[in-house]
């Protein structure tokens, strides 16, 4: 794998892993400040939870954001649907499709790297057999 491809792949994997970590942090924060009343979630500190939601979306989801991750349009559009995060921060379940997709990206990229390395090793062993 050429160095530039390796750097690009490392960048994609890093951004994707950071997104997953930040999404899980949002889920934890939401759970910490959430109170269920009659199957409805009430948030005790909506400002804190809303800020975390806005940071997550503006960092990873908005087009051309600093650490934008590659999401299919239907997932990105669902996350970018207007919400009043201060009034009612989005339920973390709203992130589930994006998180699942992010795991798939990481798994596929890691599998791709493994397959390429295996092919290179196999080619090297075939071309330069040990005598």
Q: Which domains does the chain have, with CATH numbers?
A: 3-127 (1.10.167.10)
pLDDT in tens, 70-99: 999 999 999 999 988 778 899 999 999 999
Looking from the CA of 66 toward its CB, the CA atoms found within 13 Å total 6
Bridge partners, 41 (sequence order) = 36
pLDDT in tens, 33-77: 888 777 777 888 889 999 999 999 999 999 999 899 999 999 999
d(CA 90, CA 53): 8
pTM here?
0.78
d(CA 48, CA 11): 29
d(CA 65, CA 59): 6
Contacts of 31 (CB under 8 A, 6+ apart): 92
């Amino acid at each position: 794998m050429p160095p530039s491809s390796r750097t690009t792949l490392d960048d994609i994997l890093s951004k994707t892993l950071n997104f997953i970590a930040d999404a899980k942090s949002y889920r934890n924060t939401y759970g910490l400040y959430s109170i269920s009343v009659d199957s409805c979630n009430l948030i005790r500190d909506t400002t804190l939870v809303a800020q975390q939601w806005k940071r997550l979306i503006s960092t990873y989801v908005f087009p051309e954001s600093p650490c934008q991750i590659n999401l299919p349009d239907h997932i990105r559009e669902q996350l970018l649907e207007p919400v009043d995060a201060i009034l009612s921060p989005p339920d973390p379940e709203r992130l589930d499709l994006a998180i699942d997709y992010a795991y798939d990206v990481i798994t596929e990229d890691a599998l791709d790297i493994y397959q390429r390395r295996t092919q290179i090793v196999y080619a090297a062993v075939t071309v330069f057999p040990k005598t």
